[in-house]
Amino acid sequence: MSDLKYKLVVGLEIHVHLCTKTKMFCGCGLEYGVTANSRICPVCLGMPGSLPVMNRQAYEFAVMMGLALNCRISRFTKWDRKNYYYPDLPKNYQISQYDLPLAEKGYIEIPLEEGRTKKIRIIRVHLEEDAGKNIHAGAYSHVDLNRAGTGLLEIVTEPDMNSPVEVRALAMELQRIVRYLGVSEADMQKGHMRFEPNVNLTINLGDKEVKTPIVEVKNLNSFRALERSVEYEIGRQLDEFAETGKVMEMGNKSTRGWDDVNQVTVLQREKEEAHDYRYLPEPDLVPVELDDQWLGDIKSGLCELPLQKQMRFVSEYGLSDYDAGVLTADRATADFFDEAVKAGGEPKRICNLLTQVGLKMANEKGCSLADLGFSAANVAELAKMAEGGDVSASAAGTILEKMTEMKENPQAIAEKLNLIQKSDAGELEAVVDEIIAANAEASQQVREGGKKSGKARGFLMGQVMQKTKGQANPKVVSEILGKKLS
């Protein structure tokens, strides 16, 4: 890689499949993993005489996303035909939006390290239909049109990202948002969410700055591929500039694919400009006019967004940014935590129970935290018991696991499993006296306060816990030992 000084510049195009029951302009059902070409009709095949009808739910989902991204919502928008030929595009054009997108000029804040955030500007949000899928098998290619006509939300950012880490952070935050709002499952393995970074470099030559030609990396469906393709393009573009001196003014934008096996981008074609698509207004669809009442109805579906919730958990509940990020990874877990805290549980104690025990169980069972079977109120009660010393931290974890099976409150489960800690000072004092008398040497080492005192104190604590079969409250035992051996 060259030693040239440079600045990475990345804008991102994101395509999101909307989780409507039917396609964008026809009544074909949206199902994944079914027999190829079994979810098609004359409309999505572009047969002569067939007419499209807009999916209202898809439009409302798109407007909701525009609102979540702080965009200006267009009260009047129309549909356009984007003309190009490709085997998986049966009509030879795609119904999209060109000059009047439904939302534009917004922004999204992305989380960075140490609790920092960065604002990335949004150019536009528009709605279109997806193409089908080409399946390559040896010397032949097959076309599956089940996906053709699926409602597809396209989000286009300004080139405001300056590192692969920022690009990944934006993609992950968008996935959190669409899932919180319920507009998409955002399962990248199923192609619900695809990323296309537009990458180039601003190179400092001392007396001037030059820009390398923009490269668009197509159809990335994992955060790892997105981050690594941008990293690879930095080195490739630096090397190409050092070898050829080629700058933006000397060449068109090009598209490249990502070879995941060899971890490199591969040239596909020179990128078309807007005029190459011969956009024209879609004659078979009426424009969409959004009135105040309809907009208000859509706004009512908004919720507290994930980054806002994450920052609130840090400021209001005193959680670390990491813990808050884990809890807000999905809406159901975040809402469950919030409900448990409002039921009176100590936030950090509830956080530990959910992140260290609850989420592990949910992952093993392949379900959400809320589906494990215990209530937020019972988790709050268990947190109070642990905080008050009625049960130890490890016992609390055991009780939470049993709450998925026994369907009883935490107190009843703790009593049945004999997990209630002994905190009676008088009863424990007698045990401590017995342990001190039986271990004179260790007791003397604690009194002397030398190098061995810490280890000796731990030994005595262990003897008390063993004598009480782990039921003594460690805090109370420690206080008694301190008084006896001070």
- Dump pLDDT digits (tens) for 27-73: 999 998 899 999 999 999 999 999 999 999 999 999 999 999 999 99
The whole-number pLDDT of residue 427 equals 65
What is this structure's pTM?
A: 0.86
Angle at 374 between CA 369 and CA 377, to 5 degrees: 105
The whole-number pLDDT of residue 425 equals 62
Q: With helix as H, strand as E and coil as C, how does the chain read?
A: CCCCEEEEEEEEEEEEECCCCECCCCCCECCCCCCCCCCCCCCCCCCCCCCCCCCHHHHHHHHHHHHHCCCEECCEECCEEEECCCCCCCCCEEEECCCCCCEEEEEEEEECHHHCEEEEEEEEEEEEECCCEEEEECCEEEEECCCCCCEEEEEEECCCECCHHHHHHHHHHHHHHHHHHCCCCCCHHHCCEEEEEEEEEEEECCCCEEECCCEEECCECCHHHHHHHHHHHHHHHHHHHHHHCCCHHHCCCEEEEEECCCCEEEEEEECCCHHHHCCEECCCCCCEECCHHHHHHHHCCCCCCHHHHHHHHHHHHCCCHHHHHHHCCCHHHHHHHHHHHHCCCCHHHHHHHHHHHHHHHHHHHCCCHHHCCCCHHHHHHHHHHHHCCCCCHHHHHHHHHHHHHHCCCHHHHHHHCCCCCECCHHHHHHHHHHHHHHCHHHHHHHHHCCCCHHHHHHHHHHHHHHHCCCCECHHHHHHHHHHHHC
Residue range(s) occupied by CATH 1.10.10.410 in the chain: 425-485
pLDDT-flagged residues of the chain (< 70): 1-2, 271-275, 421-428, 470
pLDDT tens string 439-483: 877 777 778 777 778 787 778 878 877 877 767 777 777 777 777
The whole-number pLDDT of residue 2 equals 63
The whole-number pLDDT of residue 271 equals 62
The whole-number pLDDT of residue 441 equals 77
pLDDT tens string 97-121: 999 999 999 999 999 988 899 999 9
Instruction: Report residue 47 CA to chain centroid gap.
Output: 39
The whole-number pLDDT of residue 422 equals 57
Spatial contact of 166 and 42, defined as CB atoms under 8 Å apart: no
Residue of 90, 98, 102 lying closest to 47 (CA atoms): 90
The whole-number pLDDT of residue 424 equals 53
The whole-number pLDDT of residue 303 equals 95
Spatial contact of 178 and 186, defined as CB atoms under 8 Å apart: yes
- CA dist 413 → 146, 233, 281, 350, 407 (Å): 51, 57, 67, 18, 9
The whole-number pLDDT of residue 328 equals 96
Spatial contact of 28 and 40, defined as CB atoms under 8 Å apart: yes
Spatial contact of 83 and 278, defined as CB atoms under 8 Å apart: yes
Burial readout 68-77 (b: 16 or more C-beta within 10 A, e: otherwise): bbebebbeeb
Out of 4.10.110.10, 3.20.20.70, 1.10.10.410, 2.40.30.10, the CATH code matching 425-485 is 1.10.10.410
